[in-house]
Structure 1
């Protein structure tokens, strides 16, 4: 539900926004609450990045007739946004606290990319953020005085001021690169 609400924020800003149901490959119409993170990890472990990219490619192709496409992702989705920037024909990507991104630095983004990280994130050490930054010198990086998941209203780590600023920056970035 949270990701659908996030997609609604982008739709409210004038974008055609969809939230691909990538876990449907494991279980149809699944909705994993943030109170059951182990279950979410279980679904993620049953997925491969290549399968997720197939689903994202289908979503990109579906909306491309409306104009340029941007991708945004959160946590694992942030890493998928990074991979989409490297593999898919998109105009821009935004990654929020993509914890697995550092394992994919050999893949080079082909579009402008913005990153949002929390300085207090215990899941993503600042050394990993620095590695991602070094591998992506043209990327735009923002650090917030916040924890992992600072954008998620369903988590105790939600930080409204950081979430608001990150959304404003993301929308400005998309206005510049997507339209």
Structure 2
């Protein structure tokens, strides 16, 4: 596996960075990996490498490049406060346009051979869902997507497969929000939902106190199975 930072050209001008992880085989289908509110930090880079070792060409764009390029934050105290302020300052429509540029960049690389999925966590989870609508991905995986209930009016626009992973103990995405999501996609065979009853928000991040090994491993396996059933 090899990694590097590459340049991505935004649709409205300017360039931003993305962390590219290539699989040992050197080629494979693509994943656009979408960060939490903490930047493309050590954990997100490790997740990119994890999926690269699974055989995917992974590109994680710096979503906050317009506010603070290259920002990397921790999960407590002032870092947490700064992360929330960066998220609030983000123009989400502009972020989707930047993700679309990332998708175009990934499709243009010779190592990327096959379909491209978006995969994101929390803020990245909702951006992954919106990428399925407007950023040109072939499928999307959404881990504890923050604010999903505010975007369910777009459900009828969805034309690609999506997989959701929710935490049963999540105080941000409540049981009612999960049920609303379930109802919004009722009857859709191409939309899969999983709820990890004992897990909390952020359960996939091994750098956080909320990390849940069982939920993380199970959801990782389900993600890989989902992507493989869609074809390469």
Query: Under a length normalisation based on structure 2, what TM-score does the superposition of the two structures give?
Result: 0.74
The corresponding residue for 2:81 is: 38
Q: Secondary structure at the match of 1:93?
A: strand
- Once the two structures are TM-superposed, the CA of residue 109 in structure 1 deviates from its matched residue by 2.1
Q: Greater strand percent: which structure? A: 2
2:169 to 94, 107, 120: 120
Question: Does structure 2 conserve the Cα–Cα contact (< 8 Å) formed by 1:73 and 1:81?
Answer: yes
Structure possessing the higher radius of gyration over alpha carbons:
2
Q: CA, structure 1 residues 178+20, in 2 after alignment: closer, same or farther (shift >3 Å)?
A: farther
Cα deviation per residue 1:111-161 (whole Å; 9 max; x = unaligned)? 100000011111111100111111123210001120000001111010011
Q: Which runs of 4+ in 1 moved over 3 A?
A: none
The corresponding residue for 2:99 is: 56
Whole-Å separation in 2 of the counterparts to 1:38 and 1:109:
33
After superposition, residues 1-179 of structure 1 pair within 5 angstroms as 1-35=42-76, 36-65=79-108, 66=112, 67-107=114-154, 108-137=157-186, 138=188, 139-144=191-196, 145-179=198-232
- Once the two structures are TM-superposed, the CA of residue 178 in structure 1 deviates from its matched residue by 4.9
Q: Aligned residues, how many?
A: 179
Q: Which runs of 5+ in 2 are unaligned?
A: 1-41
Q: Secondary structure at the match of 2:68?
A: coil
Q: Secondary structure at the match of 2:107?
A: helix
Question: Does structure 2 conserve the Cα–Cα contact (< 8 Å) formed by 1:74 and 1:98?
Answer: yes
Question: Does structure 1 conserve the Cα–Cα contact (< 8 Å) formed by 2:146 and 2:172?
Answer: yes
Q: Greater helix percent: which structure? A: 1
Q: Which runs of 5+ in 1 are unaligned?
A: none
Whole-Å separation in 2 of the counterparts to 1:56 and 1:131:
26
Query: Under a length normalisation based on structure 1, what TM-score does the superposition of the two structures give?
Result: 0.96
